[in-house]
Chains A and B, each alone.
Chain A
């Protein structure tokens, strides 16, 4: 493949994953620490250091106001949306209203847009891919939940642009999972994708056949995921400790950080073993001098399953409702795909099997399947011979506001795109010469509860009694997901139309500025890493010279040349020490370190040469 590779990125609510197709094989790229997934968490420390991924997750509780997690729930949302209202009550970081009624996050006095936050995670995924592939990566396919609206999809695209990525395609997560599942096989199946991730639960039904992947139905709960399972263990530990020691660990951030990490670890272990030990020494101070208490408990799988039984049942209830709403009989399903790390829990697998009457497929890795599917899509876009065709559906109803503030659906949700549909309306007042067409997206009967996509006015209508003038409103959705709405006076042919362009809430100028800033930051990080490496090398050289010097100095003092060499050496050492000190103090000393390093190396060689001669 001569063209630049296209990586696939699963930009998850809690974890992200990057994959690429190598010699025909979709492969997950591990990060620098060897993890195959990276937490979608961004933090800024008190010292201003930006943290992404595992290290950000590990300080999330001790630095709650400086850590952004689950930002995917907010991306592309309007400030006055219910999701933002819910987040305002639960988020530990500060949300503020943006200039375009969008949502912004204030971190340590700096305000970031949601796409900027997501771009930091995407930059990290890009960096992971570049380090692994040894070349710059520019193109990617990013996955989003099937229910994401146009604004959310556009915001995800903008995040990619800010991260310096060309987002060649946005695809639905269940579609990606099914792609990975069907890759290399000639399957014709109807499958359910049961996606229980860290923070969200989605259930989708897809029809796969002859290289065509069609999403038939999708639904879920954006506030149900693996973290809820962790929280049950956390509560069990905290209240057990409270009962035993009369100390509430929730009041101590450090203790809670350790408990959260340990709970997640215990949960993961219980997928493979029947019992696990939770051992957290020195968890909390007793307040008596240096004395600290330990937390030690055993958790069995049975007990864990009791703790989370209602969460598992909630997943199944959502599945049941989704299938009923879509008119799909579960007996028509050929397979159930498990997606998301939480589906490794044996109880979930058991309940899924009982509900669907099918053993869930385990041929795909639930943590990686979405990224693998995205990478397959990326590879197929490069390959003109590829016959993979993705058919997406509209995740929400599309329609207009009618008299009384009600919402009239024109295109039902779960309609496969591209599609078009129309509906005829009449005037509501005598001699009405114009109508305002307000285009909404959503599932509520009240228009105001749905999302306004755009509006226009059709004027020049004939003056007639109410109900006599008929106006036909037509919706069209292209394969790229672009919505066009037109209104036409059926008698005169007078017509007006609007093309709804998705917006993330950022202007083009803002996106370009953010992209430049992200680039500057990346350059800064690279330079500081280079400086840190140089600083360590200079410190090592100074140490070596310090050890060699006493053995050579008596000899060097014996002649004029030697004394001159000592003087020069001292000057070099002094210069190097100053550069190291400046660097440690946070002042940029990259150039100084670069200059002094070869001189130190020469000095070291000289001293070693003298010792060799002496010996």
Chain B
């Protein structure tokens, strides 16, 4: 595949990538989005999807890098050394040898690139497309899990990688871990749909077989989002129903959390108020039973030197600073300036952590 097919739409490629992404098949998704970028190097949605994919992997997933026309050498999509993606970087790939790892790069060293890049196909032709490379070589140039060196400073490195490829196994070994639609899976990798017609035919077949009921992206990326933002948790469809369920499960804090997700003004609904009151009442009883007599005067159990090593937030820090051996639990509720439930919860937590007695 030397020339890109001009009839292939970047949007279609993005949609197809979305489908695979929603099925957790990141390599397939990357291939589609990479193709989209190939078709339209300036397509922000395609670039964003691709970047998101690289950030979304718990281990800082880096499939294969791609360099194509229109990219600058320092483009974060191309140069792994400057990409803002996760810290674990893939090893350089040499030919079909998988699992060779460069290890964690030092900050002052650029990441080593592939020994030969573009990749060299078995048939001797050069390609810049990893999927094309895979389709022709029978394997993809992914690194094995053992090859991905976890970053000791990155907590997320402990999470399971989506890639389950062992050193010696061929790519198909991931079939169990990242199931793909039954339809044309092998065919898909054997013959990459390139043209508009081929892609549409592929998608139609997938829909017909039930493997692709809604060939629309699971998540819309119309507007680029700030990648440094914390992940936005989608609110539950019906917070009130969730609150009812949580109450039935005696998850009283969960009830309050669910009600917090209600749209503005809906918190004034009679049922919402009633649920909140019930939850607070139960929480208060729980906290009071744990704290005991609220006229009791608590004492701080740790020295000021030890104190700063505790994992406390500023509200707990404030409550702790008010405990001076003279004020009672009830006084602390009065002087905290916080709702009674919050103050008693913090005091209960401090008591359970033996910070106070």
Contacts and interface: CB of A to CB of B under 8 A. Distances in A.
Interface of A: 33, 45-47, 49, 51, 55, 58-59, 61-63, 252-255, 257-258, 261, 279-285, 290-292, 294, 532, 536, 539, 584
A285 B313 contact: yes
Nearest to A60: B335
A282 B293 contact: no
B288 A584 contact: yes
Given A59-B334, A281-B308, A254 B295 contact: no
Given A281-B317, A292-B313, 8 more contacts: A58-B327, A59-B334, A254-B314, A254-B318, A255-B318, A279-B304, A285-B315, A290-B313
Contact of A280 (B315, B321, B331, B336): B321
27 contacts: A46-B339, A51-B335, A55-B334, A55-B335, A59-B334, A61-B337, A62-B335, A253-B337, A254-B315, A254-B318, A257-B337, A258-B318, A261-B321, A281-B307, A281-B308, A281-B321, A282-B312, A282-B313, A283-B314, A283-B317, A285-B314, A290-B312, A290-B313, A292-B317, A532-B295, A539-B293, A584-B288
A535 to B, nearest CB: 8
A258 B315 CA distance: 11
Interface of A is mostly: mixed
Interface residues of B, number: 28
Nearest to B296: A536
List of 8 A-B pairs having minimum Cβ-Cβ separation, nearest first: A282-B317, A62-B337, A59-B335, A254-B318, A285-B314, A292-B314, A58-B335, A281-B308
A526 to B, nearest CB: 15
Given A254-B318, A257-B318, A63 B337 contact: yes
A283 B308 CA distance: 11
A255 B314 contact: yes
A59 to B, nearest CB: 4
B175 interface: no
Nearest to B322: A58
Interface of B: 288, 293, 295, 304, 307-308, 311-318, 320-322, 326-327, 331, 333-340
A119 B53 CA distance: 68
A532 B316 CA distance: 27
A253 B320 CA distance: 15
A258 B337 CA distance: 13
A459 B63 CA distance: 106
A434 B309 CA distance: 83
Contact of B334 (A51, A252, A292): A51
Q: For the complex, would chain B's binding face be called helix, strand, loop or mixed by DSSP majority?
A: helix
A414 B255 CA distance: 68
Contacts of B288: 584
Contacts of B336: 59, 62
A540 B313 CA distance: 34
Nearest to A44: B334
B337 A282 contact: no
Contacts of B326: 33
Contacts of B334: 45, 47, 49, 51, 55, 59
A55 B321 CA distance: 14
Contacts of A255: 314, 318
Contacts of B304: 279, 281
Contacts of A283: 314, 317
Given A282-B317, A285-B314, A584-B288, A254 B308 contact: no
Contacts of A258: 318, 321
A532 B329 CA distance: 13
Contacts of B315: 254, 285
Nearest to A536: B293
Nearest to A279: B304
Contact of B314 (A33, A46, A49, A282): A282
Taking each of A62, A63, A254, A285, which has the highest tally of chain B beta carbons within 10 Å of its own beta carbon? Answer: A254
B324 to A, nearest CB: 9
B320 A282 contact: yes
Most buried by B among A46, A58, A255: A58
Contacts of A290: 311-313
A369 B284 CA distance: 47
B313 to A, nearest CB: 5
A257 B335 CA distance: 10
A291 B312 CA distance: 7
Contacts of A282: 308, 312-314, 316-318, 320
A59 B317 contact: no
Contacts of B339: 46
B312 A292 contact: yes
B327 A55 contact: yes
Contacts of B320: 282
Nearest to A285: B314
A151 to B, nearest CB: 34
A47 B311 CA distance: 30
Nearest to B326: A33
A82 B108 CA distance: 68
A307 to B, nearest CB: 23
Contacts of A539: 293
A598 to B, nearest CB: 21
B228 to A, nearest CB: 12
Nearest to B338: A62
A33 B331 CA distance: 13
Nearest to A34: B326
A571 B321 CA distance: 44
Contacts of A58: 322, 327, 335
A294 B327 CA distance: 24
Contacts of B321: 258, 261, 280-281
Contacts of B340: 47
Nearest to B304: A279
A506 B290 CA distance: 48
Contacts of B307: 281
A532 B294 CA distance: 9
Contacts of A279: 304
Contacts of B337: 59, 61-63, 253-254, 257
Nearest to A288: B230
Contacts of B318: 254-255, 257-258, 282
Contact of B331 (A46, A55, A291, A292): A55
A47 B288 CA distance: 17
Contacts of B312: 281-282, 290, 292
Contacts of B327: 55, 58
A60 B339 CA distance: 16
B304 to A, nearest CB: 7
Among B313, B321, B333, the most chain A Cβ lie within 10 Å of the Cβ of B321
A571 B134 CA distance: 80
A283 B335 CA distance: 17
Contacts of B338: 62
Nearest to B324: A58
Contacts of B308: 281-282, 294
